[in-house]
Chain A
Amino acid sequence: MTPGNQQDIFISTIEAHKGILYKIVNTYCKDEEDRKDLSQEIVIKLWKSFESFDPRFRYSTWMYKIALNVAISHYRKEKRRKNISSPYPESIFNLSDTPVESQTEIHGSFLSRFISQLKELDKALMLLYLEEKSHKEIAEILGITETNVATRIGRIKVVLKQKFSQTIT
């Protein structure tokens, strides 16, 4: 495979899974500048790891592992990331239009807010749960047992329900 060819395959892979990356960046960063930096850092880490990608695994699993690891490390590397922040004023991921906010979308934004308030690892867990990953896959990505996955999801859902009822009433 030529380097140019590999770059094209990489770009198509990112294109096909852009939603995953956008959601992770969105969940872990509130600030727009931070999001730009984090997107870029994730993409660089993915590219570095792309050559050694094992085709026996799914692209999405590989992407979740790297993107979540980079995003979780983000808060401990804040200073470092500022130093390497991109000179580009644009972002890798852009929305072509601004979605209109319906009632459901407002509730959706509450959900995003509550998720972003969770602890770093719980955020990752809930993100995978909301993306309808099986407990087995979540356990594989996070490196914990399936029983632990189920227990923690149950607990976090109780907290989320409480937050919703407090906010909406």
Chain B
Amino acid sequence: MEETNFILLWKEQYEKIDQSLVINKRLLKESISQKAESQLQSLIRSKAIGAVIAVLYLVLLGIVLSYAILNYSPTAIYFIMSIGSIFLINVKALHDYIKHLVWANNIDYNGDVVAIQQKLTRLQLSIANHIRVMFLQLPFWTTFYLSSEWFPAEMGWRYIVFQIFLTGSFAYLAYFLFRNLTLANLNKKWVRSLLSGAGGKKVMKALAFYQEIESFKAG
């Protein structure tokens, strides 16, 4: 087929369509009116439900933590340190989530296609980062119930060894997951499985698209 034929074919195919193409002005007006806007807003609201639940959880943790601090007792040091760390990790995760949510809804599509698509894809891939940060709270769930009133002084060596083993295992697991739940490891099946509950398929799709963009840019 001659080089110019593709353009010619395309032109001929759409020539008639161009002539018979009609715009539904009423629908167009309605689409750009407040009505359409509110549909988009309701979507944003539905996405924000997760953030609201997280805020409520943080408020609850905050109340418990404030109570423990206000009624400070040296025996509650493990509790304050553990819940405080869990609180901070969740604040960080929520902050990142909201930041990305706002960013996603404010992206100006009037930019060159490759740059905008790369931005959108990076945003989608950032889900992996939220999850790995959340895992950092694991070891603190094994220490919040301890009290300096009875630990370690009043416990036998067996319990102390068990506690060290438990917290140590959770700390190692948290460290391991934090180190390995990265985009570079998405080729590993267990990483994909772990992320699947949080939109892993989308992450994989986004990753494939990210690679496509990179190869497109390279020429």
Chain A residues contacting B109 (CB-CB under 8 Å) are: 45, 49, 65-66, 69-70
Segment 31-54 of B: residues with Cβ below 8 Å from A: 31-32, 36-37, 39-40, 42-43, 46
Which of B40, B108, B212 has a CB less than 8 Å from the CB of A121? B212
**A72 in contact with B36 given A121-B212, A130-B6, A151-B219 (CB within 8 Å):** no
Chain A residues contacting B143 (CB-CB under 8 Å) are: none
Number of A-B contacts (CB under 8 A): 172
Distance of B16 from chain A, by nearest CB (Å): 4
Question: How many B residues, CB 8 Å from partner?
Answer: 53
User: Measuring CB to CB, which residues of chain B are less than 8 angstroms from any residue of chain A?
Assistant: 1, 3, 6-7, 9-10, 12-14, 16-18, 20-25, 27-32, 36-37, 39-40, 42-43, 46, 108-117, 120-121, 124, 202, 205-206, 209, 212-213, 216-217, 219
User: Measuring CB to CB, which residues of chain A are less than 8 angstroms from any residue of chain B?
Assistant: 7, 10-11, 14-15, 18-19, 22-23, 40, 43-45, 47, 49, 52-53, 62, 65-66, 68-70, 72-73, 75-76, 80, 83-84, 86, 88, 90-97, 99, 104-105, 107-109, 111-112, 119-122, 124, 129-132, 140-145, 147-148, 151-152, 157, 160-161, 164-165
Instruction: List 13 extra interface pairs beyond A95-B17, A140-B112, CB under 8 A.
Output: A65-B109, A65-B111, A66-B110, A73-B117, A83-B46, A86-B39, A96-B21, A119-B216, A122-B216, A151-B219, A152-B219, A161-B1, A164-B1
